[in-house]
Structure 1
């Protein structure tokens, strides 16, 4: 299967591209443009599974690094002994925090896994987000992180992989230069009848993760 490169605003039918698709890996990567001696640059991946009211049904449907707990493995694809977030319906296993944006061997910086067959009927769309971790939530409690923004991030992308075959289905490379914003709604998975589609959103905000929490909770 050839991977499709999306642009901002593009919509893509996952169900048509990969009939029988069940488990997908959402991979995200970036290269922070750090200054020598500058603050630590930590990006975090999260997801909001929302219903028809555009809110999460319960706290478990906010998938982020702070909700670490051992969940059922998705076909043993999750590393043994590592803790990841897990939604109430068991459909989403969230990312492990990568504090420095350093990846090797072509791996994504952070990833999450979604079993589309398990997503609760209460959920109409899953918003995949990326935010910059800032003081006082950063590891080193460095006030300088308050000035960080997506204009200092290069080669930021999101991709969707068919976990059963390992084939990349689509990829969206962020082209916009956000010089003030520190929170990004990267893309969304949404239902169309009994099928799933993806939209490359690229919608940026200020206020880091808290802004998104206020929107969807």
Structure 2
């Protein structure tokens, strides 16, 4: 039975699941009725952060144009351009045992591609979620359903996996940003 979280809640991942090293992170969303004439292309990304909350290099930004880190500890399974269908819209495989020791946190984000040009924002998105599954069994371990409390934001930090006393924990963040991917990149130390 998956643990369902509220915004701001933190929960153990590896302590309560001994031996767990490989997880699949699924992110999903639906778009509300929208008649702007453009597809709604949401993109999931992972920022691999050092102790200071910043990436150590641009290679620590995992997204549709950089699908994996050098250690292959974080592997993005590809871009979904429309978000059509049920279930996960985009997925990321994480091998916790391979995450480099200088990486303290994995921040999972979703942004709207060309949000400003297309006049789109997260107020037009519903049923957004992040879930963490045991890759070996497919069992859903953690789920965080984002509320409908975004209106003008074009980027969201959905959640984060972080190291704590030798274990991995998950934090349900749900924090919105204006300025899309550029704002997130700046926040996490990437110059664009």
For the aligned pair, the TM-score class normalised by the smaller chain equals over 0.9
Q: Which runs of 5+ in 1 are unaligned?
A: 68-84, 137-142
How far the C-alpha of 1:118 sits from its partner, in A, is 0.3
Contact 2:111 2:156 survives alignment (8 Å): yes
Tell me the secondary structure at the aligned position of residue 102 of structure 2.
coil
How far the C-alpha of 1:90 sits from its partner, in A, is 1.5
Higher relative strand content? 2
Q: How many residue pairs were aligned?
A: 189
Q: Which runs of 5+ in 2 are unaligned?
A: none
TM-score between both structures, scaled by the size of structure 1: 0.83
**Residue 103 of structure 1, aligned match among 73, 85, 88:** 85
**1:17 and 2:22 are equivalent in the alignment:** no
Tell me the secondary structure at the aligned position of residue 96 of structure 1.
coil
**1:86 and 2:103 are equivalent in the alignment:** no
State how far apart, in whole Å, the 1-side matches of 2:143 and 2:172 are. Answer: 9
**1:215 and 2:184 are equivalent in the alignment:** no
Aligned to 2:96: 116
Aligned to 2:167: 195
Which one has a bigger Cα radius of gyration?
1
How far the C-alpha of 1:135 sits from its partner, in A, is 6.1
RMSD: 1.4
State how far apart, in whole Å, the 2-side matches of 1:189 and 1:35 are. Answer: 33
How far the C-alpha of 1:52 sits from its partner, in A, is 1.2
Hey, which bits of structure 1, 4+ residues long, moved more than 3 A?
none
State how far apart, in whole Å, the 1-side matches of 2:85 and 2:59 are. Answer: 28
State how far apart, in whole Å, the 2-side matches of 1:135 and 1:183 are. Answer: 9
